[in-house]
């Protein structure tokens, strides 16, 4: 079957030799089916194919500003939770795509609004946003859920993860795995310390998606806070509070197999 509409597909690959090899192979196969593969990223494309590992997928989504164009990944990395297609299954993927044998899933994000003494900033994460101390310092944080004080935290920091990010840093830090379609955030402590002065939760808490998580650093730590979004560090001075929500903005991903999530969990972790 040939695509007669000359549909555009972006192929985004990292510089790994295997990824570049797959890029060339996939380009040739798609062009033979009638698709246009632009040399540079095209905002009018109907699909983004990301070749690499999970890191390549995350970088691509951030680089193209959380575009509404759906993504699918070809895995040439290690874990490959976002990268559904194996290189040996490219022909199967192309046939499924042409025959529309897939579903489009929405991926919930996490948004942080950072308030300083003079201005505010917004950051979006796919997997997680982490609040921790600079130079591995212990941080002291007041944490609120929808305006209700939850804890006076002391430790290395906290992770605010999305459902798709629950299998990433969150899981490595003892957090729970959350199915991607559930609209929740997860608050996971990093090396929490409990004492008479600080009462920190020792385990993660799953927060409904319509509630606001607020973190306020103690005044003496307002310039010692590091914010890490999907592995990228941000530093702001004079932070007074940070609000975390699930934004209206989402990204889309093609799913070729509804059982892939559970198969991934078993193959990657068990």
Nearest alpha-carbon partner for 227 in 116, 118, 147, 145: 116
CB contact at 8 A, 153 and 189: yes
CB contact at 8 A, 166 and 207: no
Tokens of 230: 């999907």
Which spans in the chain are helix H? 17-32, 54-63, 90-98, 169-172, 260-269
Q: Higher pLDDT residue, 269 or 248?
A: 248
Is residue 142 a known part of a binding site?
no
* Length of the chain, in residues: 270
114/112 Cα distance (integer angstroms): 6
Tokens of 71: 């993504």
Is residue 60 a known part of a binding site?
no
In 93-222 the beta strands, taken as DSSP E runs, fall at 103-108, 110-116, 120-125, 128-133, 139-145, 148-155, 157-161, 184-190, 205-208, 213-217
CB contact at 8 A, 210 and 182: no
Nearest alpha-carbon partner for 107 in 247, 256, 266: 247
Q: What is the pLDDT of residue 1?
A: 41
Is residue 156 a known part of a binding site?
yes
**pLDDT tens, 119-164?**
999 999 999 999 999 888 899 999 999 999 999 999 999 999 999 9
Counting residues of the chain whose pLDDT is more than 90, the rounded percentage is 79
**pLDDT tens, 161-211?**
999 999 999 999 999 999 999 999 999 999 998 777 777 889 999 999 999
Is residue 52 a known part of a binding site?
no
**pLDDT tens, 20-70?**
999 999 999 999 999 999 999 999 999 999 999 999 999 999 999 999 999
Query: In sequence order, what are the residues at sequence separation of 6 or more whose Cβ sits closer than 8 angstroms to the Cβ of residue 81?
Result: 54, 164, 167, 168, 264, 268
What's the average model confidence in pLDDT over 86-91?
93
* Active-site residue, 101 included: no
Which backbone phi and psi does 69 adopt, to 5 degrees? -70, 125
Nearest alpha-carbon partner for 73 in 237, 89, 123: 89
Q: What is the pTM of this model?
A: 0.92
Tokens of 10: 């972006």
The pLDDT-based confidence of 82 (bands split at 50, 70, 90) is confident
Domains annotated for the chain, with CATH where assigned, are 9-107+250-269 (3.40.50.10330), 110-245 (2.60.200.30)
Helical axes 17-32 vs 90-98, angle rounded to 10° = 40
Nearest alpha-carbon partner for 150 in 211, 237, 66, 210: 211
CB contact at 8 A, 73 and 47: no
83/63 Cα distance (integer angstroms): 17
192/214 Cα distance (integer angstroms): 18
Task: Single out the catalytic residue among 54, 146, 237, 238.
Answer: 54
Counting residues of the chain whose pLDDT is more than 70, the rounded percentage is 95
| Residues β-bridged to residue 125 | 110
């Amino acid at each position: 079957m040939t695509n007669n509409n000359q549909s555009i597909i972006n192929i985004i690959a990292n510089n790994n030799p295997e990824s570049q090899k797959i890029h060339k192979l996939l380009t040739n196969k798609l062009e033979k089916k009638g698709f246009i593969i632009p040399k540079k990223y095209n905002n009018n494309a109907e699909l983004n194919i990301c070749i690499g590992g999970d890191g390549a997928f995350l970088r691509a989504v951030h680089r193209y500003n959380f575009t509404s164009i759906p993504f699918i990944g070809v895995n040439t990395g290690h874990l490959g939770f976002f990268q559904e297609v194996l290189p040996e299954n490219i022909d199967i993927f192309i046939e499924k795509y042409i025959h529309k044998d897939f579903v489009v899933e929405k991926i919930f994000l996490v948004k942080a609004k950072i308030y300083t003494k003079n201005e505010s900033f917004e950051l979006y994460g796919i997997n997680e946003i982490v609040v921790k101390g600079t130079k591995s310092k212990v941080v002291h944080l007041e944490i609120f859920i929808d305006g209700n004080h939850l804890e006076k935290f002391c430790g290395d920091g906290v992770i605010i993860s999305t459902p798709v990010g629950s299998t990433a840093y969150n899981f490595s830090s003892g957090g729970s795995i959350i199915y991607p379609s559930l609209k929740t955030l997860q608050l996971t402590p990093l090396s929490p310390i409990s004492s008479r002065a600080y009462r920190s939760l020792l385990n993660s808490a799953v927060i409904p998606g319509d509630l606001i998580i607020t973190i306020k650093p103690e005044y003496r730590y307002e310039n010692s806070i590091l914010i890490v979004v999907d592995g990228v560090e941000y530093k702001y001075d004079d932070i007074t509070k940070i609000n975390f929500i699930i934004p209206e903005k989402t990204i889309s991903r093609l799913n070729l197999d509804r059982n892939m999530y559970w198969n991934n969990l078993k193959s990657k972790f068990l």
